[in-house]
Structure 1
């Protein structure tokens, strides 16, 4: 029988448990198959380990809680609330129906000065009983938990022996309202309200509404049956005047409608097919499972995430009131193309190159060094929150379009997404860029390929020729954080050529099983006559060199990537 203690006027049951292997917590939390999390004590062990790692710091404090709408979230909330009460947490704000987009959680934490928040999501991974589930903790600035916390969580998972579960009833998540259990309080809130209020401080909603309601402008936003479906209606339709039909797949579903909620050219195929048809709208966008990623399209025109952050940075001061005094600096992840660097150089801005992971941007933002940042993996954001923010990026692009068209009368030729990109490339040059993803690769095979690449680098000196490309340097990226001095090593293998072209290989840990091999290819051109060229055609030679260098097909057995971006 479980032992019983008392805390905050609530009975707390002490339940015996034992460590479960494999609960290593990364920057993006813990991700596994849903049925693993549903196993006895699996979720509870991790959450209890989180609270044990936080210790007395979390007692008497308030937390946020919500997720991306995927299967098992509502049941998980009830377990988390009982453990939070058992840990001495004073109050938990829960999104209605367990909904809370990742950037909205960051906004909630920052706006209400919460101790932190728990986000139930496996991001862009599929959801459902046989698919993925995940959970992560965001800290007091709204940023993903730093390594000192994630390392501590993992340490506690290896020695956990008991769960402290408050004996409280299940909370009704279907209605806004406050529930008190002794001195512990749960407030079910509108998941959109705080986030929308922040966006209204960032953007000129009057300018946006005037543009979006023009009779000669059309837009499509595909929520992919994920969490931004809960936000798109209130923001794009109710607040900014878009037609209800502009939002597609807008109802969050526990299995994302059987789709893969990753906003890229492969998985957001309905939107892509629309934008390359005779029914294309002027502007198309999609977001991912938990609302932190985005894809931007024009009429038969794709904006790479690398170009997107560069174009936003180049136009932010004019088009977005939040940046009217200028940008503090910009930053990109190492695999992201150097398009942002070119903007920074021409505009006199400091540009930081960081490892993949939003926490590195968060440090720069907290130190006042960065205003706009992005990752080539469809993540774009700014210092209004400490997470990448899909809807923010959509509104940033709509703001640029609105600003550029503010003096153009209805019926006259508008400035389009493609126009903005072409003008940008004419000024800064174009960094042709592509990413090949090989998902679910057997881990040993992926690691063998990496060891092979390290050997190739060791034998490759500056001046070595790879086809027509001359090597400038070959290394394994490491980063010393300018704010806290921490060092991140082994962040990706780089081959950098004298003309500025780059080939990068990296293993990603965002999946729930196996390894994802990511290959990044980049080539710069200042020749505007070549800027309309298809990226895959422009990069064909260097892609072949990358595949030859890595012997990827030999090591992985994969002749083609799962996804090409």
Structure 2
């Protein structure tokens, strides 16, 4: 099946040797360390290089010593070109500071880092990944003792320390891995068995195995491959086929995205096109995928084709509640840009709805306190209380297979929800802009819109300014957020009225922001 999935190949392969050289010897001054929603990221070279990795690791070592954080640090990464080298450099620095490191000899999914922390086998982690970004990008993220993405106070401190070491690299300590191993500072452990065993607490693998349906799973060249293989073997899933086992840091086998770039994005129809074809031609009833670090999910079904993340989140939330999968949880969590259909599902089930700023770090406390039946974001990330306070694409793919096996096609289940609660029309539009406009929009406050009473024929009910500007209307909403990395404004909008009304919302949002 691999040849089928290779489908549309990219015209040019990445120059691996050149990128590797740029990592160790960038042509220019490396940019300062800057932690976004998921760590420091940049293009290999001045955007992300060996010095970034070493400086961040030294900053983390300093943080742990100052805050008296004990216990091993799990260090690893996904299948990207420089992930293994980044992990090695970080391990050398941490061990050079006398800290114990768990260094796996395999690529590791983001949710597994989190899983190991919350189960007490690691005190924190450094994870080399740039998620589903193009192959030329690289990143490094830190997860503290709660297992979730680090909050702003921690990342600010790591940034500060790391940038000091960027200017004074001679202050970075390190030892060769062999020396660290001899000193007992370096260890390896089984990271597959505990995770896939615990997954059965949430997923009914017997139901999947007993289903007459045929399931396809694609790791998109990422770190989830060994975990899907182990799940398939442990739970006897003969009706689940891993349709591609290709792992290549150029990701040459992934169809190019809408702009000609390679992105391993499981929610985009372009990289997912081979999987969509497999369900549309009847080869499989369901096809699921997770991105390289396995913190995002995507799926396609025979009846629905590619399922938008918002649709899948609604189906999963409803199913999880009705099947009592998450004990004692009392809320559904969603980010600002995620569908309001979740609000209506929450209300039906007597659950609270928790709306947070964009970024999974805002769900961490609630997941740890067992608050959420489901916490999700429109960019295809989800988890549940009692599981990892990180997004988990493997969990999502397995849960969607269980839902298919027990209740039917995801598309049909979503249609049932909309028949009951109304059909939302949703979009996101990226509007090119400049730095000046981004700063102006970022500075806007709810008070600036106090004279805004109506938009697109609907009454304004409130305005939120905690993360961009979100305007709530009677049956719709729109959100405008400046991108942190590009000169674009992201406009999200949703209405329960009509596609025409959705277009009007977008146009009104553009006009309001042009003032």
What TM-score results when the alignment is normalised by the length of structure 1?
0.76
In structure 2, the CA distance between the partners of 1:241 and 1:369, relative to structure 1 (3 Å rule), is closer
Who is 1:421 aligned against?
A: 414
Who is 1:76 aligned against?
A: 86
Who is 2:108 aligned against?
A: 100
Q: What CA distance in whole angstroms lies between the structure 1 residues aligned with 2:434 and 2:347?
A: 39
Cα pair 2:125 2:144 within 8 Å, conserved: yes
Q: What CA distance in whole angstroms lies between the structure 2 residues aligned with 1:279 and 1:553?
A: 46
From 82, 88, 93, the equivalent of 2:98 is 88
Q: What CA distance in whole angstroms lies between the structure 2 residues aligned with 1:377 and 1:119?
A: 20
CA-to-partner distance for each residue in 1:475-530, whole Å, 9 max, x for gaps?
A: 3432xxxxxxxxxxxx02122222x2111111233xxx5245322121126xxxxx
Cα pair 1:431 1:522 within 8 Å, conserved: yes
From 151, 160, 164, the equivalent of 1:159 is 164
Q: What CA distance in whole angstroms lies between the structure 1 residues aligned with 2:59 and 2:197?
A: 34
In structure 2, the CA distance between the partners of 1:39 and 1:96, relative to structure 1 (3 Å rule), is closer
CA-to-partner distance for each residue in 1:109-155, whole Å, 9 max, x for gaps?
A: 1223421111111111012xxx1100011111211112221111112
Q: What CA distance in whole angstroms lies between the structure 1 residues aligned with 2:55 and 2:420?
A: 54
Equivalence map 1:422-461=2 (5 Å): 422-437=415-430, 443-444=434-435, 447=438, 450=441, 454=444, 458=448, 461=451
In structure 2, the CA distance between the partners of 1:227 and 1:185, relative to structure 1 (3 Å rule), is closer
Q: What CA distance in whole angstroms lies between the structure 2 residues aligned with 1:169 and 1:448?
A: 45
From 463, 484, 506, the equivalent of 2:481 is 506
Q: What CA distance in whole angstroms lies between the structure 1 residues aligned with 2:267 and 2:437?
A: 23
In structure 2, the CA distance between the partners of 1:506 and 1:459, relative to structure 1 (3 Å rule), is closer
Equivalence map 1:395-406=2 (5 Å): 395-404=398-407
Q: What CA distance in whole angstroms lies between the structure 2 residues aligned with 1:117 and 1:75?
A: 16
- RMSD over aligned CA atoms reads 3.0
Q: What CA distance in whole angstroms lies between the structure 2 residues aligned with 1:518 and 1:280?
A: 37
Who is 1:550 aligned against?
A: 510
More strand by share: 1
Equivalence map 1:17-36=2 (5 Å): 21-36=31-46
Q: What CA distance in whole angstroms lies between the structure 2 residues aligned with 1:233 and 1:366?
A: 29
Q: What CA distance in whole angstroms lies between the structure 2 residues aligned with 1:336 and 1:358?
A: 12
Secondary structure at 1:166 match in 2: coil
In structure 2, the CA distance between the partners of 1:514 and 1:462, relative to structure 1 (3 Å rule), is closer
Q: What CA distance in whole angstroms lies between the structure 1 residues aligned with 2:430 and 2:223?
A: 24
Structure 1: 5+ residue runs without aligned partners?
Answer: 1-18, 172-178, 405-414, 479-490, 526-537, 556-565
Who is 2:23 aligned against?
A: none
Who is 2:201 aligned against?
A: 201
Cα pair 1:83 1:163 within 8 Å, conserved: no
Q: Aligned residue pairs: how many? A: 474
Secondary structure at 2:103 match in 1: strand
Structure 2: 5+ residue runs without aligned partners?
Answer: 1-28, 255-261
Q: What CA distance in whole angstroms lies between the structure 2 residues aligned with 1:332 and 1:135?
A: 25
Who is 1:534 aligned against?
A: none
Cα pair 2:48 2:138 within 8 Å, conserved: no
What TM-score results when the alignment is normalised by the length of structure 2?
0.83
Secondary structure at 1:96 match in 2: coil
Once the 2 structures are TM-superposed, how far is the Cα of residue 234 of structure 1 from its aligned partner?
Answer: 2.1
Secondary structure at 1:310 match in 2: helix
CA-to-partner distance for each residue in 1:356-379, whole Å, 9 max, x for gaps?
A: 111111111223322311001111
- Tell me, yes or no, if structure 1 residue 265 matches structure 2 residue 273: no
Q: What CA distance in whole angstroms lies between the structure 1 residues aligned with 2:335 and 2:507?
A: 23
From 148, 154, 163, the equivalent of 2:153 is 148
